[in-house]
Structure 1
Amino acid sequence: MIEETNINKSVFDVFPELESERLLFEAYTKKDAQTLLNLRSNKAISKYMDTTIPKRIEDTEQRIEGYIKAFKEGKGITWALIEKENNTIIGDFAIHHIDKQNSRGEIGYILHPDFWGKGYMTEALTTLINFGFKDLNLHSFSANVNLENVNSKTLLLKFGFKLEALFRENFYYNGQFLDSEIYCLLQSDLK
């Protein structure tokens, strides 16, 4: 029998909507498919992603269905990041690949380039780290980062994430094998 840690499974009873100073964290719905298509097909964003770039609204509708399914199964939570001032989706943030046995969740995020350099990801990551450790009761977060994504690595290091591993040519994407770095933050790192 696999021993499970103390992840707070009640988090998955009702989708957890969160709020920070300038952002709302809400569930995606099918009505957001066009906005998500615009975000995920943006070249500045997609150049660091290791997933297929959506070409049709049906692609992002399927992605949103996947987010909903992952939440219902307790495997992940993906939030639309909404700027309060304009009530506009400007990106998203996820805790996915939740490993209940080891109380670990992988984070992933995207932000529209118009909002880069304005502290939105710092604000979002602060909110999500607090949620993950306090509400979900995770032991650690991991982040899988494209080596060329300097902004993402800088953000993670700012929060105390440590480089755990370099995986050489560990995934095939867009016709080539790519390297990635894995970063980790333990709950005890914040004490």
Structure 2
Amino acid sequence: MSSYPTPTLATARLVLRPLVATDAEALFAVFSDPAVVRYWSAEPWTSVAFAEQAIARALDSYRAQSEVRFGIVLADTGALVGTVNLHHFFAQNRRCEIGYALASGHWGRGYASEALEAAIGYAFQGLDLNRIEADIDPRNGASAAVLERLGFRKEGYMPERWFVHGEMADTVNYGLLRRYWNERP
């Protein structure tokens, strides 16, 4: 069985680290914001209990080494402002999926790209993966731009894949191969 430990990674402005119980309030602040979950297939969290449950699932995944779940923390303040998750690993095929969320008050500063770059680097170098997949709502132009800047390529379109906030929503599938990553300028 493959294992997927969650290390602590540092970038110029961020620290990516495992979630801890004391992150509950900050995590709740991220996922209770309707703007953050606009394109997710879940409603905004309505109590800190949702965050506590998410952290409990993360702690279970750390013990089982079944997923890599990072809290995104601002290096200068220590504030948790989002998450990056590597999940749905397929060890035989050396691939996984990636998901991410960033507090809306921190959008437009390059934090998502910076955090994803660190997590992807770890996936390819530290975990020896060959492929990372993402799926996003095609209306989420900011997320598409982040993925494309990092070398992800559009690979498919699935109409009405999710039921999101009372309506059917489409999906655009993206893929990033290690060789695409290594070919970046």
TM over 0.5: yes
Partner of 1:60: 51
Partner of 2:81: 90
Unaligned runs of 5+ in 1: none
Unaligned runs of 5+ in 2: none
Q: Is contact 2:18–2:70 with CA below 8 Å preserved after alignment? A: yes
Q: How many residues align?
A: 182
**Per the alignment, in what secondary structure is the counterpart of residue 12 of structure 2?**
coil
Decide which of 123, 130, 145 is 1:139's aligned counterpart: 130
Partner of 2:168: 177
Distance of 2:64 and 2:41 partners within structure 1:
23
Q: Note the C-alpha offset of 1:135.
A: 0.1
Q: 2:70 aligned with 1:79, yes or no?
A: yes
Q: Note the C-alpha offset of 1:172.
A: 2.2
Distance of 2:102 and 2:177 partners within structure 1:
24
TM-score of the aligned structures, taking structure 2 as reference length = 0.91
Q: Is contact 2:96–2:131 with CA below 8 Å preserved after alignment? A: yes
CA RMSD in angstroms comes to: 1.6
Q: Note the C-alpha offset of 1:110.
A: 1.0
TM-score of the aligned structures, taking structure 1 as reference length = 0.89
Aligned 1:20-169 pairs, distance under 5 A: 20-169=11-160
Q: Note the C-alpha offset of 1:126.
A: 1.6
The superposition leaves residues 97-116 of structure 1 with CA deviations (integer Å, 9 ceiling, x where unpaired) of 11212111111111112221
- The one-letter amino acid of 2:78's match is N
